[in-house]
């Protein structure tokens, strides 16, 4: 049973707790009074302001009870962090390992959480067995993968990141596309093919492109923004089903940004009648110096500035962080730590490693409550 209708991301459950509805409805139908007894959480604050708040989750929520409780208290949606990626599901050609994804999906369905499936097709982290395939073989593999995975969770997974990060100008491919197993064999047509296949497998799911680095106002960020807008126009002109754009929101204060200019980019997406989801919010705090409290304050100020601008755009419907606690951030990964040159534990998320709220939590609350009622 589909837990939301195609026109609006939110399901009836959200409407009961003060959520708003998607683009298809008017403000008059929107927010209902929040029961005063509900514990204040990022999810409840978000719902009162027309936003679904969630976070990426992985197997840690099954082994860490304090973390699982945090998700149950603070989120209304979860994104599958690793479990539904191609390399997680299919380490070998004849192997499909669904255990991790099944556990997350069943948990989310049981707890009434909206589920974002991340991600069907990505030109990164492909398993070695995908190499040296012909165009016909890769086409068959992609189609069968999408059919099998999307059908397995039909009616349970509400949103799919069908294609993740299609652009990477650093690869110098035509149009700034990201090279990799799918692009190299199929060209950029792999994108339309993936969306058509996913729409056929589950016509009730919301389908999104998910992209990184658009938050940057340097040459890289602007190139990706322009590529994304071109791709959206090509897909819409070809009648390819596309419902939302995921903008990851991995804030990188070491690079230039211009929040007012970013709003203009969001308005260009909104003008194309697409929902906007901030899908992987966190912040690389390596550049910040001083004590923990000083750095946490700088993190909160940057997150507030970014979110308060983003939330001025009515098409923004979801804010998700990339995990909830510093304890499980990808910024702790060895390789990421090495590359960042961090000399201390990263603090990129709204909760610290002891699951305690940080200034970033209050910055998100302030930005959400500052959103004019739409």
Contact region for ligand G3I (CB under 6 A) — 65-73, 80-88, 177-185, 299-307?
Answer: 80-88
Binding flag, residue 125, ligand G3I (CB under 6 A): yes
Q: Which is nearer to ligand G3I, 248 or 257 (CB)?
A: 248
Q: Would you tell me the crossing angle of helices 259-270 and 292-310 to the nearest 10 degrees? A: 40
CB of 261 to ligand G3I, least distance (A): 22
Stretch that binds ligand G3I, among 14-22, 81-89, 126-134, 176-184 (CB under 6 A): 81-89
CB of residue 81 vs ligand G3I: minimum separation in angstroms?
6
* x-or-dash string of contact with ligand G3I, 151-190, rule CB under 6 A: -------------x--------------------------
Assess whether 99 carries a catalytic annotation: no
Considering beta carbons, is residue 275 or 284 the nearer one to ligand G3I? Answer: 284
Query: How far is it, in rounded angstroms, from Cα 247 to Cα 226?
Result: 14
Cβ-contact 241, 191 below 8 angstroms: no
For residue 328, state whether it binds ligand G3I (rule: CB under 6 A).
no
296-299 long-range contacts (CB < 8 A, ≥24 apart) are: 296/347, 296/358, 296/359, 296/360, 297/359, 298/253, 299/347, 299/348, 299/358, 299/359, 299/360, 299/363
Question: Shortest distance, CB of residue 188 to ligand G3I, whole angstroms?
Answer: 19
In the list 85, 116, 188, 197, the residue contacting ligand G3I (rule: CB under 6 A) is: 85
Of 46, 52, 108, 212, the residue at the interface with ligand G3I (CB under 6 A) is: 212
| 165 is annotated as an active-site residue | yes
Q: Is 248 in the site for ligand G3I (CB under 6 A)?
A: yes
Q: Which of 50, 192, 209, 59 is nearest to 119 (CA)?
A: 209
Q: What is the DSSP letter of 122?
A: E
Closest Cα partner for 138 from 186, 178, 173, 93? 186
What residue is closest to ligand G3I based on CB?
330
Among 277, 174, 265, which Cα is nearest to 226's? 265
Q: 137, 229 in Cβ contact below 8 A? A: no
Catalytic residue chosen out of the listed positions 165, 211, 275, 365: 165
Count Cβ atoms within 10 A of the Cβ of residue 187 and give its class: 0-12 exposed, 13-18 middle, 19 or more buried.
Answer: middle
Among positions 53, 67, 82, 351, the unique one binding ligand G3I when judged by CB under 6 A:
82
Torsion 272-278-284-288 (CA) sign: positive
Q: Site residues (CB under 6 A) for ligand G3I?
A: 81-82, 85, 125, 164, 212, 248, 280, 330
| Active site amino acids | 165, 280
């Amino acid at each position: 049973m589909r837990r939301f209708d195609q026109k609006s991301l939110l399901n009836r459950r959200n409407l009961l707790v003060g959520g708003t509805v998607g683009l298809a409805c008017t403000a008059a139908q929107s927010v209902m009074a929040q029961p005063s007894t509900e514990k204040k959480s990022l999810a409840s604050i978000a719902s009162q302001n027309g936003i679904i708040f969630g976070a990426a989750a992985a197997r840690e929520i099954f082994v860490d009870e304090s973390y699982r409780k945090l998700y149950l208290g603070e989120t209304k949606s979860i994104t599958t962090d690793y479990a539904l990626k191609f390399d997680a599901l299919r380490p070998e050609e004849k192997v499909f390992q669904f255990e991790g994804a099944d556990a997350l999906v069943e948990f989310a369905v049981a707890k009434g959480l909206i589920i974002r499936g991340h991600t069907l097709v990505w030109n990164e982290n492909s398993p070695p067995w995908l190499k040296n395939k012909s165009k016909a073989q890769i086409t068959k593999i992609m189609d069968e993968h999408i059919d099998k995975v999307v059908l397995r969770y039909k009616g349970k997974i509400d949103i799919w990141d069908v294609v993740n990060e299609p652009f990477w100008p650093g690869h110098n491919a035509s149009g700034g596309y990201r090279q990799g197993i799918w692009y190299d064999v199929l060209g950029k047509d792999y994108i339309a093919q993936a969306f058509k296949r996913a729409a056929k497998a589950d016509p009730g799911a919301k389908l999104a492109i998910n992209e990184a680095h658009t938050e940057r106002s340097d040459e890289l960020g602007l190139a990706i923004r322009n590529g994304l807008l071109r791709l959206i126009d090509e897909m819409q002109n070809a009648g390819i089903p596309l419902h939302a754009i995921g903008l990851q929101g991995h804030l990188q204060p070491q690079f230039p940004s211009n929040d007012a200019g970013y709003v203009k980019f969001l308005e260009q997406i909104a003008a194309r009648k697409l929902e906007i989801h901030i899908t992987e919010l966190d912040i690389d705090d390596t550049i910040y110096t001083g004590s923990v409290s000083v750095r946490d304050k700088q993190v909160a100020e940057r997150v507030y500035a970014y979110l308060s601008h983003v939330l001025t755009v009515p098409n923004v419907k979801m804010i998700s962080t990339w995990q909830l606690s510093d304890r499980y951030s990808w910024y702790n990964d060895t390789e990421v730590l090495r590359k960042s040159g961090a000399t201390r534990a990263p603090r990129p998320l709204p909760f610290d490693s002891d699951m305690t709220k940080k200034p970033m939590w209050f910055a998100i609350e302030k930005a959400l409550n500052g959103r004019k009622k739409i």
